[in-house]
Amino acid sequence: MSYRGPAKNPLIVLSDGVWTGREANSESNVQRLASLVWGESGLPRDDDFAHLHPTGKAHYVNSVPVGSTFMESSSHVIHGLNVQDIEHQCIDTYEYLVHGYTPQETEIWMFGVSKGAFIVRSVAGMINNCGIVKPVYSLNGDVDVDKTHRLCQQVYRIYQCPSEANTPKSEQSRIFRRKHSWALIGDGDVVESPIRFMGIFDSVGERGIPEFAGAVGADWPKLHNQHVSSVVSEVYHAVSLHDRLYAYQPCLISRDTEYGPSYGITERWFPGTHYDICRQSFKIVRGVLPQRLESLLPAWAWSSKTIQPNEVLSDLVFKWMLECIDTHDPSGLVIPKNTLYRELDGLKHSILEGRNTGDGDVYDHILQFAPFGRYFDLVLSTAFGNWQDNQLYKMLFACRPRLVPEFNASVYNYRGPDPNLDGKIIQKLANLPSSSTTPEKQPETRYPSTSYDGWLLRR
């Protein structure tokens, strides 16, 4: 895709997803990655929206406030979180790059999980449209922060605009880049992509991220452009094989270039649900009663149980992503080599122990994780039979197996021995079923998705 010269200083963007934070006692794979980038001091554990590395080399962004729940952050129907939230995060991330990027000295590394993957892909789209604008300077030679911010806002609006005049290859876009931005491939003699590496965990948004659009109702805004352009050199995408939530369809990646649809793209399907791949834990309902009062009530009666990811599968995916980083960061500028190799050894040991295998796919009995959930489930089933057929429930929790579209897709064989794990089998370590069965045939199946068997059958 582009010539790569000597290693440059990395400018690292880390955009987190939902269902992470202190209250759930969880950290996503991107948050763990940020901790490795931060080093010995570690990523701050407060609830601030964003954190800047002490040297300025990295920028970590929380996607949803720590106090949010599954019902708030997954459906976005209850509190309407989405459009303004996404716009704010895209502009904030892009503005960080504007203040830190120079093509001679820096290269961009992007990481995103879940909704955070949606954010970094959108920012890459903004760069494809408008390039990376240069900071605006005032007459005294200082950066005019306000004008620079407003210019970044304009970049986002140009990216979102459907007009042909604002497409990346339009004359108007070329003029904008010549006037305001560092040159991109195709704008002159540039031979390097500004984004060296994009690593994402289960990018969702094939139907868009669900949102509540006021009086209009539920809407599904998509990525403005689902292709990854030449502004990104290498893409690594870990995709969930076992997730069934229809609202979280994967947004797969391809290129729209003469090099071919998969040039520089490594997309691999891993066993586990969306929250396994991303390493996210969450509660269905939180904050109905004061926290102190809730803590005094019997756990079996009131408390909303935290849904836990399968740590074996989370570790498997995280190990793969670190190995990909290692391949493209020979100098250890993103993560020091001793830190990275120590983490890889720890991940392998943790996988082989196979201790924390989480709750599996909970979508068919998700109410049981709510306060008094088992009792509500029993009452509803007694009164209405299969109450899950309710239209509102289906809108929020409709399930169907994902489709692996390509016969030759890279799909991790979790039923066979892995030579990189001393010949052990992930199916056994992670407590996965030996074959996929529908919930109707075997209600207690931990992972009822039939995606893997369907893919094997079609090959």
Least confident stretch, 4-8, 145-149, 372-376, 382-386: 372-376
Contact 412, 271 (CB under 8 A): yes
Least confident stretch, 160-174, 185-199, 258-272, 286-300: 286-300
Select, from the ranges 133-147, 244-258, 283-297, 429-443, the one with the highest average predicted confidence (pLDDT).
133-147
Q: Kindly report the CATH number that applies to the domain delimited by 9-282+308-352.
A: 3.40.50
Least confident stretch, 239-248, 276-285, 326-335: 276-285
Q: Which residue has the higher pLDDT, 211 or 404?
A: 404
> Is residue 80 pLDDT above 60, yes or no?
no
Angstrom distance (rounded) from CA 8 to CA 18: 32
Q: Which residue has the higher pLDDT, 251 or 385?
A: 251
Angstrom distance (rounded) from CA 254 to CA 52: 31
pLDDT confidence of residue 137: 96
Section 332-349 average pLDDT: 97
Contact 133, 35 (CB under 8 A): no
- 224-265 pLDDT, tens digit each: 556 788 899 999 999 999 999 887 889 899 887 665 666 789
> Is residue 152 pLDDT above 80, yes or no?
yes
Nearest to 446 by CA among 342, 358, 321: 358
> Is residue 303 pLDDT above 90, yes or no?
no
Section 372-396 average pLDDT: 66
Q: Which residue has the higher pLDDT, 54 or 346?
A: 346
Model's pTM, two decimal places?
A: 0.87
Nearest to 30 by CA among 247, 283, 314, 309: 314
Alpha helices in 50-196 (DSSP H): 70-73, 83-100, 115-130, 145-160, 171-180
pLDDT confidence of residue 74: 46
| Element housing 433 (H / E) | none
pLDDT confidence of residue 232: 94
Nearest to 110 by CA among 29, 178, 196: 196
Angstrom distance (rounded) from CA 122 to CA 135: 20
Angstrom distance (rounded) from CA 66 to CA 62: 8
- 410-424 pLDDT, tens digit each: 999 999 999 999 999
Burial class (CB in 10 A: 0-12, 13-18, 19+), 208: middle
pLDDT confidence of residue 66: 44
> Is residue 293 pLDDT above 70, yes or no?
no
Domain boundaries, the chain: 9-282+308-352
Section 291-313 average pLDDT: 70
Largest CA distance in the chain: 74
Angstrom distance (rounded) from CA 125 to CA 186: 16
Rounded to the nearest integer, the mean pLDDT of the chain is 83
> Is residue 320 pLDDT above 70, yes or no?
yes
Q: Which residue has the higher pLDDT, 172 or 26?
A: 172
- Burial string for 367-403 (b: 16+ CB within 10 Å, else e) reads bbbbbbbeeebeebeeeeeeebeeeeeeebbebebbe
> Is residue 210 pLDDT above 90, yes or no?
no
- 108-139 pLDDT, tens digit each: 999 999 888 989 999 999 999 999 999 999 99
DSSP state of 250: B
Angstrom distance (rounded) from CA 203 to CA 212: 20
Nearest to 117 by CA among 411, 323, 317, 384: 317
